[in-house]
């Protein structure tokens, strides 16, 4: 009996058609569709179950049933196997040229502050230049360290998303400031830029952010869009 089941499983593996995931970045994944939820798609790839975020999938292409003729009626996949609708290009926030935090129900405005150049301390107050934000040492806009942090910005003209940089802020009594560097330019954390619509871009931290205070700021600008990360 064991041998018969093994032969049957091998035969099914040989004749089973392959399904295809078409990703929004243009890549494809070939395997067997296992099921889906509103957020997750399960796919069997090389005998391994893999999970794909539904927002990253453009569509699922199901292979035709082997041996079916053009006149045969092919049964539609179950509801949870229906191809993913191609979402329209993202329109982005109503307010242009400023980064917003992507939330579960829309875009969350960041705390906008104005930074002024100052000195980071040192002997006789001649430390390296820093940019300082006066006021509370914590931003009212908070995310958790485990959250997926994504910023969205829409330009009303030909803007360059690479003008934005992500910097960490040090909390002091009555102000926040960039970390001092010898060159005077705040050390920027890497961002991944993805175009998601007409003049709309996602900015995603390339690595996890430690708990603390941060700001997204345009290069050569004193505008600071602040937020904080909690445990």
10 within some domain: yes
Tell me the two tokens of residue 117.
């150049």
Average pLDDT for 204-221: 94
Domain end (from 29, 52, 81) = 81
pLDDT digits (tens, 9 = 90+) for 93-147: 999 999 999 988 899 999 999 999 887 654 444 567 889 999 999 999 999 999 9
Rounded Cα gap, residues 30 and 44, in angstroms: 9
Rounded Cα gap, residues 10 and 114, in angstroms: 66
The beta-strand segments (E) located in the chain are 19-23, 28-36, 40-45, 48-53, 57-61, 100-103, 106-109, 111-114, 116-119, 129-134, 142-144, 151-154, 164-172, 175-178, 188-189, 191-197, 200-205, 212-218, 223-230
126 within some domain: yes
Do 116 and 45 lie in a common domain?
Answer: no
Range of the domain at 153: 100-230
Residue 206, pLDDT above cutoff 70: yes
Residue 221: which CATH number?
2.60.40
Do 49 and 126 lie in a common domain?
Answer: no
Residue 200, pLDDT above cutoff 70: yes
What percentage of the chain exceeds 70 in pLDDT?
Answer: 74
Tell me the two tokens of residue 10.
């091998």
Rounded Cα gap, residues 88 and 53, in angstroms: 17
What is the number of residues in the chain? 231
Domain end (from 30, 53, 81) = 81
Do 112 and 22 lie in a common domain?
Answer: no
Mean pLDDT of the chain: 79
Determine the 3-state secondary structure of 50 from DSSP.
Answer: strand
Residue 83, pLDDT above cutoff 60: no
Highest-pLDDT range among 14-18, 65-69, 155-159: 155-159
pLDDT digits (tens, 9 = 90+) for 21-43: 888 888 999 988 777 776 778 88
- Structurally, the chain folds into a number of domains equal to 2
Do 105 and 216 lie in a common domain?
Answer: yes
Find tokens 């050390």 and name the residue. Answer: 187
Greater pLDDT, 10 or 99: 99
The Cα-based distances of 67 to 16, 70, 164 in angstroms read 11, 10, 55
């Amino acid at each position: 009996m064991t041998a018969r089941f093994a032969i049957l499983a091998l035969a099914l593996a040989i004749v089973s058609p392959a399904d295809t995931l078409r990703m929004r970045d243009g890549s494809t994944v070939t395997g067997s569709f296992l099921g889906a939820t509103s957020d997750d798609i399960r796919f069997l790839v090389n005998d391994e179950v893999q999970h794909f975020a539904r927002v990253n999938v453009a569509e699922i292409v199901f292979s035709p049933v082997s041996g079916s003729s053009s006149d045969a009626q092919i049964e539609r996949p179950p509801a949870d196997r229906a191809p993913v609708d191609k979402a329209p290009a993202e329109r982005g926030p109503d307010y242009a040229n400023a980064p917003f935090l992507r939330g579960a129900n829309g875009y969350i405005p960041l705390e906008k502050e104005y930074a002024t150049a100052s000195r980071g301390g040192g002997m006789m107050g001649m430390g390296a230049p820093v940019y300082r934000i006066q006021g509370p040492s914590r931003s009212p806009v908070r995310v958790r360290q485990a959250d997926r942090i994504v910023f969205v910005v829409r330009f009303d003209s030909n803007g360059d998303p690479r003008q934005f940089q992500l910097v960490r802020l040090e909390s002091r009594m009555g102000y926040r400031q960039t970390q001092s560097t010898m060159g005077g330019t705040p050390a920027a954390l890497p961002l991944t830029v993805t175009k998601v619509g007409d003049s709309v871009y996602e900015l995603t931290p390339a690595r996890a952010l430690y708990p603390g205070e941060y700001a997204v700021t345009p290069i050569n600008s004193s505008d600071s869009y602040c937020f904080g990360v909690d445990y």
